[in-house]
Chains A and B, each alone.
Chain A
Amino acid sequence: MPILSPIGRAFLGFLAATGRLGMFTATATSHCVRPPFYARLILRQMVEIGYYSLPVVGMTTLFTGMVLALQTNSSFSSINAESATATVVVFAVTRELAPVLAGLMVAGRIGAAIAAEIGTMRVTEQVDALSTLSVNPFKYLIAPRLIAGAMMLPLLVFIGDIIGIFGGFLISVYQLDFNAANYLSRTWQFLEWVGVVSGLVKAAAFGFIVSLMGCYHGYHSRGGAQGVGAATTNAVVSASILILIANYIITAMFFGT
């Protein structure tokens, strides 16, 4: 049947790609947990992924917290529930918005950078040169980025939580005339462990996904500048989509029942 064969081909292609990614993930992860570790490289990636992403994540969460306070106040005032503003800000920021938005911002910043760097190394034969010098590219290039991604994103999100809640506080107190002490005590009251911890677990998963997609697409890029460009796009798009899917799965695991 000529109608079915393209569907079959697409399905087989999908299975092959999934298998390739699975193999790549397994190999990369096994190199993350087996020595030798390149401490210098891990540290450098931590600075690159963590420290230099701080302004972006800080700005994102600050304005998100501010917008949340405004929106909650304006929509909840119709049911006379403005006092829930602090609760909504603290729940939404720690559980969802800080990890997801930080993950997406870092996907754009770091996923693209990793894909472009490793992709350029691939097309200029630097990856092959590593192998000829008996250095495993998975160990030298990929493992440090995965480790740094999974470790730094929770830290970024933790700081983002604080900044986001502070953004909500600023708007609530200075624009919406909430009582600062009341607002803070409500924030403390509703700041729960499971919310913060689930957010940090999400962040670790998102950091891993961003680095993995950057490495995977960079490592498999082909054919010069155009190939590197395509790898960069694919890294950002696939990381973003996987972040949203993983967000659902982790949310279901923590709060599903």
Chain B
Amino acid sequence: MTDPNKTPKIRVRGLHVAFGDNKVLRGLDLDVGNGESVVIIGGSGSGKSVLLKCILGLIEPDSGSIEIDGKEVVGLYGRARDRVNAKIDMLFQGAALFDSLPVWENVAFGLIQTQRIARNAARDVAIQKLAQVGLGPDVADLWPAELSGGMKKRVGLARAIAADPEVIFFDEPTTGLDPIMGDVINDLIVKCVRGLGATGLSITHDMASARKIADRIAMLFEGRIIWQGPVSEIDSSKNAHVDQFIHGRAEGPIQMQVRG
């Protein structure tokens, strides 16, 4: 658990988000400590991605507070928002590589555009970051369309760590990958986050991935965190919702809406 005396890296309080009549988040509270890796689990459509987008300012919450390093970030825009987002990078679900740019420029994008590093120097950094995720320099000049799903995720990871961010978000990092490639990505995530000393916040419904990359797991259900605790306690949570989710049972307190 986070030390209550220290300011958490990310502190979310009473977050409400609704799209029309669909109340996605209903008073979500969450603390993520500095250097900690928290994984949020929850069913499809439970609002996990919405939480990340709120923290990044891509979605404006209806009410609630989000603090990063003790400073309120809800409602920031322009330069102030850029300064906050400069601390955070993200590995998107589909990697979200810019397909108009070669791989190395994707990785070096933040360095070239916001840190104004010369293209040649940025390319060297990109190749070094690609090596960290196990890709050779020959990949640097390929186009995103030429990469396999696993390679795209690796390039996305290299882009996320390129600017040495303080916080990294992972949106379903193993979705769409075979179990072995999924585990490779998990290992890389653990290695990169630890290597940078960064704070990690991941969302997933893949329990193998959650167990591997998390220090702490939080379960999101009906717009709130209904359980959180260290990975070691997830099997003895005595929470019927958590048990149903980690064992992947159709029967239980969580009723999936098959037809919306």
Contact = CB atoms under 8 A, between A and B. Distances in A.
A135 B88 CA distance: 13
Question: Which among A133, A136, A140 has the greatest number of chain B C-beta atoms within 10 A?
Answer: A133
A137 B99 CA distance: 15
A134 interface: yes
Interface in B80-120: 82, 85-86, 88-90, 92-94, 96-99, 109-110, 113-114
A140 B100 CA distance: 13
B53 interface: yes
Contacts of A129: 90, 92, 96-98
Interface residues of B, number: 24
Interface in B170-194: none
A82 interface: no
B94 A128 contact: no
A125 interface: yes
A128 B156 CA distance: 13
A221 to B, nearest CB: 15
B58 A131 contact: yes
Interface in A92-125: 121, 124-125
A134 B98 contact: no
Given A132-B56, A133-B110, A133-B114, A125 B92 contact: yes
Question: Which among A128, A131, A132, A136 has the greatest number of chain B C-beta atoms within 10 A?
Answer: A132
Given A133-B89, A134-B82, A134-B85, A128 B96 contact: yes
Contacts of A71: none
Chain B contact surface mostly: loop
A189 interface: no
Interface in B41-72: 53, 56-58
A134 B96 contact: no
A126 interface: yes
Contact of A131 (B56, B94, B97, B98): B56
Contacts of A134: 82, 85-86, 110, 113-114
Contacts of A126: 96-99
Nearest to A44: B100
Nearest to A136: B82
B109 A133 contact: yes
Contacts of A135: 109-110, 113-114
Contacts of A128: 53, 56, 58, 92, 96
A54 to B, nearest CB: 22
Interface residues of A, number: 13
A136 B93 CA distance: 21
B113 A131 contact: no
Contacts of B93: 125
A124 B110 contact: no
A124 B53 contact: no
Contacts of B56: 128, 131-132
A154 B77 CA distance: 35
Nearest to A38: B113
Contacts of A140: 113
B146 to A, nearest CB: 16
Contact of A125 (B96, B110, B163): B96
Interface string A129-170: 101111110001000000000000000000000000000000
B91 to A, nearest CB: 10
A125 B90 CA distance: 11
B119 to A, nearest CB: 10
A180 to B, nearest CB: 48
A128 B58 CA distance: 7
Contacts of B88: 132
A238 to B, nearest CB: 25
A35 B99 CA distance: 25
25 contacts: A121-B98, A124-B94, A125-B94, A125-B96, A126-B97, A128-B56, A129-B92, A129-B96, A129-B97, A129-B98, A131-B57, A131-B58, A131-B85, A132-B56, A132-B88, A132-B169, A133-B85, A133-B113, A133-B114, A134-B86, A134-B110, A135-B113, A135-B114, A136-B82, A140-B113
* Nearest 3 pairs of A and B residues by beta carbon: A125-B96, A129-B96, A133-B110
Given A131-B56, A134-B114, 19 more contacts: A121-B98, A124-B96, A125-B93, A125-B94, A126-B99, A128-B53, A128-B96, A129-B90, A129-B92, A131-B57, A131-B58, A132-B56, A133-B89, A133-B109, A133-B113, A134-B82, A135-B109, A135-B114, A140-B113
